[in-house]
Each structure stands twice: as C-alpha cells, then as structure tokens.
Structure 1
C-alpha cells in the first residue's frame, strides 16, 4: 500500500472532539466535557445558536471564559466541536476496494440521518446553522470538505484500479455514488433509513453501471 493511501485510511475520521487530546498545555478533560455538555443543555432548554455566548456557556459549565478560549479561538470553533461530538462517529475505511469503502461511507451517512431524526438538539443545531454564516463556513471547512475529500479519494482510487469507469469526471462519479443516500438522509426525511443493508444495495446497484474493466468479468 502506498504512503498516501495508508495516510488516508489511517487518518482520524473526524476533527478532535471535546475532551480529546490536543497539542499544547494539558487541559482539564472534565472542564472540556462540562463545556460541551453546557452547550447541549442550553440548546435543549430552548436556546438558539445565535443567543449562545462564551460568557453564558462558561457560566453554565462552571468554568471561566479563559478556560474556553484556551481550547477554542471563538464560539464557532467550539460549536463545530460540539456538533461533531453529537453526530454519529465515523468508521475507518477498510481499504479493500472501492465497493467496501463506499459501503462504509454510505452507512455513515445513513446513521447520521437517523441520528438527526432521533436527536432533536442535533436537528436544531444543523437547521440553525444557515442563519450563522461564520459557523456554517467553519463547519464546511472543518468537516464537510474533509468528508468530501475522502469520498473523492476513494473514487479516484477506484478509477485508477479499474474498478470504476475512467470516462467520467471524478467529482461526478462521487456525486452519483453518494447522491441517493444523501437525498434520503437530508432532503427526503420521510424515507426509511433503518435498513443496515441499504448502503450495500445502493452501492452494488450503482456499480452495475459504473464498473470499470477490472470488474467487468466475474464480479458481483
């Protein structure tokens, strides 16, 4: 396995969560967990993202503002960490082929959609993000772009290995492979997501028409 591919497969699946170790002076894990819990509690009590302040979060967590600012440069960075903490954890990619990697990626999207439906606070935070451009930009840069990059790298490896057609744009291929699950989990929220076999069904059905020469003969 080449160095770039190994780095992709073994890299952390998500940005550091609240309470995870970072460089610099050791921080109190208990304080970090209290800060994250305070944000969730304030949202549960009916607050909005716009109403949240560092002062209010610090008071609810029982810490000083300096404790928050030592770990997060601003409110947006803190809220991104809290949001990632509330979402479903991502699983490492198996790296055994484009099909297996895509099934893991789509299953994460499925579980994330279920979490949004079942966790009111998560749904509220995601929905309110559009009203806060700085938070939306921070989340997009920190989380969305990284996930998009991973999907693109998986598809590019599939094309290079002959598992996927090489006559289509890489980004278009990625969108075609992830679009059905994205549609179900984000836009059509009345469609079922509880079938754990759904990701494999989507990927296998799409690969029938997108497979490259390496999989044309004798493949599923």
Structure 2
C-alpha cells in the first residue's frame, strides 16, 4: 500500500499481544472442539491480514481462504478462533490501535485526562498511519463490520467513561443528579471533533487536560 506508515500507528500485530476476541458467541453455541487455542497461531493470522492490507487489498476482498493462505494455516483453523471476517477484522483493528488505557484511579480528573489522552493519541495515529486511516475509511462502508467494531470496542470504552463519571458523583467530585451520558459527550465531543472531523486542528500535548478542566469547571458550577 503506497504511503503506509511503518511506525507505531501501523505496527505489525505480531509485535504485540493479540486482544482477546470480544464478540460473544451465539447463545447456546457449543464450545469449540479440537486443539487448544494457540496465541502464536492467532498472531500469525492477524499478521497475515495486516500484511494483505499493507499490500493494498481492500477489506471487502479479503476472503478467509486468502487470509488462511497468507498466514500458512487452514481455513478451519481460522473458524475455530473467529466466527467470521467481522470478528477477525475487529481484532485486527484492535491490534493496530493503541491499547486501551489503564486508569490511575487517583481522582476523577486523572482518570478523565487518561481517557482523553488515549483519544488524542489515537487521533495522532489516524493522521500519521496510512494503514489505520485506510482501514477506518473502509470500515465505514461495511455496515456489519462497523456495527461489530462499535459493539465490541466503542461501547465498552464509552461505558468505561460513564463508570468514571458515576464514581465521581458517588465520591462527591461531581454534583449529584448530573446527566451522565450528556456529561460524557461534553468531555469526548471536543476531542472527537478535532481527531475525526477536523484533520487540520491542532492536537496539543495539553489538550486533554484543558478539555477536562474546562468541562469539570462547568459541571461543578451546577452544584
């Protein structure tokens, strides 16, 4: 793929731990039989998908057969680990992105800054990694994949933010009775605007802190 960045944003999945698949198995589905799951095999499969993407193969044209051939495994090996392409691709994207942040838990502000800093760094990766930018652009044209990504990646991150805000209310760092979902949008909205819709907007090192401090001041003024 022409212009692919080979830095951290376009890192090979084989250099990092593979994220556990977060797509739940269908209700009533029997446990997979056969040989035990091998992380090395799973990494080889994810690495094969990344290699094909770097070569310019569109997501829509990536067949399980082609992925298996590139990874040097059988199709059955892939299906024992992922129910289909959507589930596999979500793990591939997760392996390219920054890992989810560990929250310090020292204060509401510290946790919020850490969450927004993760979004800021992700935005920087989207700008500098041709691979990551290309993959996200293609995902938006594939509804099933886009929905799967939102279900297993975006929603858990959003719920983590809501949990932080609820803890802030419980500990008296935020006024009781605030709208948790609206408050979450107030924190993430400015960062999403700059990272996803305004590619020319600066992503300064202190942006996360400035957003958090501004929104916190407004929320605390309601008490």
- Summarize deviations over 1:174-198 as a string: whole Å, max 9, x none: 11111111111111111122x3322
2:47 and 2:221 map into 1 onto residues whose CA distance is: 48
Which residue matches 1:5? none
1:105 and 1:21 map into 2 onto residues whose CA distance is: 22
1:52 and 1:70 map into 2 onto residues whose CA distance is: 18
What are the within-5 Å matches in structure 2 for residues 183-202 of structure 1?
183-193=193-203, 195-202=204-211
Residue 112 in structure 1 maps to residue 112 in structure 2: no
Residue 178 in structure 1 maps to residue 185 in structure 2: no
2:93 to 77, 83, 88: 83
Change (3 A) 1:167 1:19: closer
Change (3 A) 1:139 1:160: same
Report the CA distance between 1:21 and its aligned residue.
9.8
CA contact (8 A) 2:21 2:87 kept: no
2:59 match: secondary structure:
coil
TM-score normalised to the size of structure 2?
0.81
CA contact (8 A) 1:34 1:61 kept: yes
1:148 and 1:184 map into 2 onto residues whose CA distance is: 18
Which residue matches 2:3? none
Higher RCO structure, 1 or 2 (CA under 8 Å, sep 6+): 2
Structure 1: gaps (5+ residues)? 1-16
What are the within-5 Å matches in structure 2 for residues 64-103 of structure 1?
64-103=74-113
Structure 2: gaps (5+ residues)? 1-16, 23-30
Q: Name whichever of 58-67 and 161-170 sits farther off.
A: 161-170
CA contact (8 A) 1:162 1:212 kept: no
Q: Name whichever of 65-74 and 165-174 sits farther off.
A: 165-174
1:170 and 1:134 map into 2 onto residues whose CA distance is: 28
What are the within-5 Å matches in structure 2 for residues 48-63 of structure 1?
48-63=58-73
Report the CA distance between 1:86 and its aligned residue.
0.3
CA contact (8 A) 2:19 2:94 kept: no
Change (3 A) 1:200 1:87: same
Which residue matches 2:213? 204
